[in-house]
A and B are shown apart, each in its own frame.
Chain A
Amino acid sequence: DGGITQSPKYLFRKEGQNVTLSCEQNLNHDAMYWYRQDPGQGLRLIYYSQIVNDFQKGDIAEGYSVSREKKESFPLTVTSAQKNPTAFYLCASTRDSFYGYTFGSGTRLTVV
């Protein structure tokens, strides 16, 4: 079955460490997105990529970095510069906005 795989499902890190969240899709979608979900704040866009080797900052990009070396993969690095990294992170992709987005199951990151 086609879909988006996010790993791991739960991730614990010590404060000050960088951590990379994985997002892989086998839907042949060009566009991929990273959102952060916090209670009462909905989903906020961190970074997005329309094509390989190109990406743009979203609304809350500070403290995060991404790469898009392959169409299938869009990893997100949460750096030590992110002031409040504990959150639920969602990856999404789409072929065309008409079809809506397909979401992964998310990674819950806890920084202690």
Chain B
Amino acid sequence: AQSVSQHNHHVILSEAASLELGCNYSYGGTVNLFWYVQYPGQHLQLLLKYFSGDPLVKGIKGFEAEFIKSKFSFNLRKPSVQWSDTAEYFCAVNAHTGTASKLTFGTGTRLQVTL
């Protein structure tokens, strides 16, 4: 079964700092990869997704992620964070196993941006 690891549990950054959140998955076959964000008191929202093609994926609000197949990684980046980026971020993988489509999520990274 696939699994997802997010090693940064809690990250604190000052506004304008650069962000990189790690995500590694374990599955040797074809995968679809996602980053979701959960702002305080709000629904989980899709930030970006990777299915195929260019491994550098751009999402909403200036976020991007790079798929590195050899490292089984899909790290999330943003050059300059804002206070409004304070939220919890979840990486998820959908492995092509031939069975039903279902996402496996990481444990999440809580990002706190200070003014």
Contact = CB atoms under 8 A, between A and B. Distances in A.
B101 A43 contact: no
A90 B34 CA distance: 17
Interface in A14-72: 31, 33, 35, 40-45, 48, 50, 56, 58
A45 B49 CA distance: 20
Interface residues of B, number: 25
Nearest to A48: B102
A43 B45 CA distance: 14
B69 interface: no
B86 interface: no
A54 to B, nearest CB: 10
Interface of A is mostly: strand
Contacts of A101: 44, 46, 103
Interface in B35-50: 36, 42-46, 49
B14 interface: no
Given A100-B34, A101-B46, 20 more contacts: A31-B100, A31-B101, A33-B103, A40-B107, A42-B4, A42-B105, A42-B106, A42-B107, A42-B108, A43-B90, A48-B102, A50-B101, A56-B100, A90-B44, A97-B32, A98-B49, A100-B36, A101-B44, A103-B44, A103-B45
